[in-house]
Chain A
Amino acid sequence: MITLDTNNFGGGSVTLKDYQRSSLCVLNGKITVDPTHLAYIAATRLELDLPEDFAMARSAVSTAILVSNAPIYRFGTVLHCWIEDNKLCLEKLTEWDSFGSYEIHINAAFVTRGYRGAFSQTQTKELTILNAGTMFSFKDYRYVETDTFVYFISTFNSFPSYSNNGQGPFTLQLSGFATNVQVVIPLIVNGSTIMPQQKGSMITVGSFENGNLTFSYPANGQTMGGVNSFFNFFAVRG
């Protein structure tokens, strides 16, 4: 775990789970942003100071997910996120500021560039859905497991929707997924309907524990979920 005590947007201290090497880092955690704070209003991008001994001073672009406080659907989007001059930097988008404090979820890898040399093929690992049926079936997925972190992206042919399956909670039970991964992830769960004046996509937040993913939909989230849902994340093990 690393603690980021200072930032340029008036936020509190942030704790992130970390895997650090000079050329590859993985970070997991959540940042809360108050868009009414004067420091936030003045900032052109969000910067959090990394510990002085952080292994990577600069990274290529990575991602974070903005999860707003918009009623019911928590609309949000993907943000640019990167490391620069020993700071964790985030793109500032103000589209959802009017809904009050919002969350930024970081479940991402950070790499450096300029590598010349041989590469080995990335080994993926198969997963099995234990409770497959009408609710869950994979469309495309890739799961990479290392000793220290995992990477998992999945799209679905079947996925719970509010209109068919209600609010939940739902659990995606997996065989083969590392049981020592505990991570909270945003799920992109925009159904086929676009709401009037909608900006961003509908998001719910789920958590992996003991190799299973659990999530639910908010009350009245009629158009959420279904086959266009997906997630994509890196997570530190242990």
Chain B
Amino acid sequence: MKILPSIAFNDFSGSAGNVTARKVGDKTYLSSRTKHARTKTPSQAATRCRFTDATRGYADITEEQRQGWISLAARLGRYFTSSGYVTMTGHNLFVAINSYRQLCGKPITADAPPEIKPSRYIRWRDLWITPEHIVFTHVGVRQSPDEVLLIETYPSLSPGIKNGWSRTVILTVCPDTDWGDVDITEAFIQKYGAPLTIGQMLFMKVSWLDSECGYLSEFSQIAFPTCENTPYGSDLVYTPRARITMEDLEPVTEFYVCEAMDYELSPGSKIASNSMTIRVLEGGSSTANMRFNHHGLSEAFSIGRSYQYARGTAEHKYFVLCVYVLVLNATSANINFRWLAGTFASHFETFGTYYFTF
């Protein structure tokens, strides 16, 4: 049985039950001990795992390496984390940097980085926060291949909550943008189990983080209520990109298989850039339309075609073909390939950048 001294004792320090006392200077502070919540989602478990690994890792490093971290921490002074400033120690810095490195798929580093590359703010042009889409567009380019986008979110449960910055948790790490697009809709639904609802406030912290360095410093703070259109008041309805991918396609027909599909229109007036691979099966004809149904374009597009170079695959000797690619998106929605000239190959890829004309 533990004998508890009176809290009136000035020099008491230690823990008993749920109470911890610590002495700082002339004063003794009492605090209740935080109990570990036993509820564990997969992402919480992963976070704790990273933290535990990083903490244990510090015990395994050499004294020289430890001094390196202590020295670097002393140079940095206070450390800005996503939950505010904390006083920096070598241990803190080691755990923080290695936690973020692990999050980015990097191993724990025992040596303090020779150079700190702090995270930085992001720039973007449009942002949709709707029940269907959480999408940034025209996000600026990364400055090095090591940079990743670190995204933390907190979807406020109550519209009355005006400050949710301390409650954000890591949503995802994006290795890069998709031509400036960052679409976190799927990651959000995976994490929270449901889409946003109209009016719900979403708090986001977004930064370009150097995954090698793992030093989180600056980040953009973005908070908007969920609405039907863009949150910037311009009432811009979400507009999908004009593209067709494998996800938008029925790739197998009786005589033809589309093995790769990446088709997108850019302005100028309409220019298609694409990369597609087609295999003709037994019974398929070189002179027929190779047709695949799609659901990848918005109603704004009805019909268009591009005339393209194609080439046989290696087993088809790299023969060069001219094919036209006809995209229909009206009463029927399909993408058609037809050999026009050159030497036909029954397994070919067509790619490049071409005008999209009638």
Contacts and interface: CB of A to CB of B under 8 A. Distances in A.
Contacts of B301: 119
A84 to B, nearest CB: 11
A153 interface: yes
Interface string A49-88: 0000000011111110100000000001110100000000
B300 to A, nearest CB: 7
Contacts of B270: 119-122
A194 interface: yes
Contacts of A3: none
B138 A139 contact: no
Nearest to A119: B270
Nearest to B307: A153
Identify which of B126, B351, B353 gathers the most chain A CB atoms within 10 Å of its CB: B353
A113 B307 contact: no
State the main secondary structure of chain B at its contact with A: strand
A218 B231 CA distance: 64
Interface stretch (A28-36, A162-170, A173-181, A196-204): A196-204
Interface stretch (B27-35, B50-58, B108-116, B315-323): B315-323
Contacts of B308: 232
B341 interface: yes
B310 A78 contact: yes
Contacts of A188: 320, 322, 341-342
B317 A113 contact: no
Interface stretch (B161-169, B239-247, B327-335): B239-247
A230 B342 contact: yes
Interface string B338-358: 001111000000011111111
A60 B341 contact: no
B343 A114 contact: no
B357 A122 contact: yes
A120 to B, nearest CB: 4
Contact of A201 (B126, B181, B342, B352): B342
Nearest to B145: A85
Contacts of B352: 61-63, 78, 108
B311 interface: yes
Contacts of A155: 307, 322, 340-341
B278 to A, nearest CB: 15
Contacts of B242: 115, 119
B275 interface: yes
B343 A194 contact: yes
Interface of B: 126, 137-138, 141, 178-181, 239-243, 264-271, 273-275, 300-301, 307-311, 317-320, 322, 324, 340-343, 351-358
The 4 nearest A-B residue pairs measured at CB: A114-B179, A60-B273, A63-B352, A201-B320
Given A77-B319, A201-B320, 18 more contacts: A61-B275, A62-B353, A93-B318, A110-B353, A111-B268, A115-B267, A120-B269, A124-B358, A139-B340, A140-B324, A151-B354, A151-B355, A153-B307, A153-B322, A153-B354, A200-B319, A201-B318, A227-B341
